[in-house]
């Protein structure tokens, strides 16, 4: 684990198991308790003109009780009324509207059963192998309880029950929010001007006990430490939208770029991210561009591991 102090522009090499040593008893650690679903499936596309072919159907997020937003590959020639047939024909969905970029609305029943029987854990594309039974466990956080994400909140993957116990033993409060990570978080920024990029909305929920704990901590001047970019976006969205941390569920498309005014979070635990990603831009906004570049150069030089199954960085403004 790399520890970065933006106030003093310092970088320290450490081990994640010692994270509690860099936290104060007054701090509040906020985790995202979403759970990754088996979102990647195979199906047979049956067109209305009588032709058919195999395709991948990636279940991105539900849009109603009977419809899902799905990413199909190949998917540009799918038309309204075409069908997706799963297994040996036990389950059939009908395509409705096309959303562009291979995204479609698929109407079907028993989606959860389809994913349970035919789905695979959706490893990121840069992990160039098929998922294994090990990924069913290792690509989930130990505290994830609410299914709905199509990618893991990777900063949370580092925690074990023993590490969480070490944090609690120091008197540090731990709070849970839920943000179901969607495909938009990991789409690269392809626009020349990053400000022209947009994030797809992601579903979140903040429950009453968490809202009360966090708002009380803010009123008392205690530092809130977000585990992951998903957590920091949820909390800062609440402050922008409501002016306080309150219990609510909804959707957020908050896109954080350098110059953003962070009003809630005083620390961030995050992995090392891909270039031209919204995640890296958020980190630059929080730590500062120059210090972020230094940290990444340090990580490359000292052979830190990058991406989902990689190492992490704690950015804390009050070490």
145, part of any domain: yes
Indicate if the pLDDT at residue 275 is higher than 70. yes
First vs last C-alpha separation in the chain: 15
**What is the structure's pLDDT at 188?**
58
- Structure confidence at residue 198 (pLDDT): 64
Please say if the pLDDT value at position 192 is more than 80: no
Please determine, for residue 13, whether its predicted confidence score (pLDDT) is greater than 60. Answer: yes
Q: How far is CA 158 from the centre of its chain?
A: 14
Using DSSP's 3-state secondary structure scheme, residue 196 falls into: helix
Tell me whether residue 20 is in a domain: yes
Structure confidence at residue 185 as a pLDDT band (50, 70, 90): low
Burial level of 199, CB count in 10 A (0-12/13-18/19+)? middle
User: pLDDT of 251-264, one tens digit each?
Assistant: 999 989 999 999 99
The pTM score is: 0.92
Overall average pLDDT of the 154-180 stretch? 97
Per-residue pLDDT tens digits for 65-93: 999 999 999 988 899 999 999 999 999 99
pLDDT confidence of residue 191? 54
- In this structure, is residue 125 part of a structural domain? no
Residues 44 and 54: beta-carbon distance below 8 Å? yes
Contact 256, 189 (CB under 8 A): no
Q: Please give the residue that has the higher pLDDT: either 146 or 186.
A: 146
Q: Which helix (H) or strand (E) holds 298?
A: helix 289-301
Give mean pLDDT, residues 207-215: 98
Number of alpha helices (DSSP H) and beta strands (DSSP E) in the chain: 7, 17
Domain contains 95: yes
Pairing of strands 173-179, 202-206: antiparallel
Range of the domain at 305: 2-36+135-316
Q: In 10 A of CB 188, how many CB atoms?
A: 11
> Does 197 score more than 60 pLDDT?
no
Pairing of strands 173-179, 28-32: parallel
Residues 25 and 81 in one domain: no
Task: Report if residue 215 sits inside a domain.
Answer: yes
User: Cα separation of 164 and 183, whole Å?
Assistant: 28
pLDDT band at 186 (very low <50, low <70, confident <90, very high): low
Cα separation values, 181 from 21, 34, 91, 314, Å: 29, 8, 26, 21
Per-residue pLDDT, 140: 96
- Residues 303, 177 share a domain: yes
The answer to whether position 144 is within a domain reads yes
The answer, yes or no, to whether residue 153 has pLDDT greater than 90, is yes
Which pLDDT value is given to residue 289?
Answer: 93
For residue 129, name the pLDDT band (cuts at 50, 70, 90).
Answer: confident
The residues near 92 (Cβ < 8 Å, ≥ 6 apart) are 83, 84, 85, 86, 108
CATH no. for residue 53?
2.40.10.240
Nearest to 177 by CA among 240, 226, 130: 226
111 with 250, same domain: the answer is no
Split into its structural domains, the chain has a count of 2
Q: Is the pLDDT of residue 194 over 80?
A: no
* pLDDT reported for residue 262: 96
Q: Is the pLDDT of residue 204 over 70?
A: yes
């Amino acid at each position: 684990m790399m520890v970065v102090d933006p106030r003093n522009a310092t970088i320290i090499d450490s081990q994640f198991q010692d994270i509690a040593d860099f936290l104060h008893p007054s701090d509040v650690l906020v985790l995202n308790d979403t759970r990754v679903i088996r979102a990647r499936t195979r199906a047979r596309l049956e067109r209305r003109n009588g032709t058919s072919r195999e395709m991948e159907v990636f279940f991105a997020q539900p849009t109603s009780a009977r419809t899902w937003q799905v990413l199909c590959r190949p998917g540009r020639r799918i038309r309204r009324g075409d069908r997706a047939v799963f297994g040996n024909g036990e389950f059939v969905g009908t395509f409705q509207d096309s959303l562009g970029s291979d995204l479609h609305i698929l109407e079907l029943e028993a989606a959860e059963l389809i994913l349970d029987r035919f789905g695979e854990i959706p490893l990121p594309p840069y992990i160039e192998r098929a998922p294994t039974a090990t990924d069913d466990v290792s690509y989930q956080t130990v505290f994830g309880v609410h299914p709905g994400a199509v990618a893991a909140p990777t900063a949370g993957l580092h925690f074990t029950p023993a590490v969480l116990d070490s944090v609690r033993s120091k008197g540090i409060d731990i709070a849970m929010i839920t943000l179901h990570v969607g495909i938009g978080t990991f789409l690269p920024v392809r626009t020349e001007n990053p400000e022209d990029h947009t994030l797809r909305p992601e579903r979140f929920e903040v429950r009453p006990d968490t809202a009360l704990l966090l708002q009380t901590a803010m009123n008392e001047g205690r530092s809130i430490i977000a585990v992951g970019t998903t957590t920091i976006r949820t909390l800062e969205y609440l402050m922008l939208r409501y002016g306080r941390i309150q219990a609510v569920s909804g959707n957020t498309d908050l896109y954080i770029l350098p110059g953003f005014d962070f009003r809630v979070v005083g620390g961030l635990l995050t992995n090392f991210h891909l270039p031209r990603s919204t995640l890296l831009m958020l980190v630059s906004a929080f730590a500062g561009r120059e210090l972020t570049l230094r940290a990444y150069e340090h990580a490359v030089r000292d052979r830190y591991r990058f991406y989902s199954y990689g190492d992490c960085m704690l950015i804390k403004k009050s070490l």
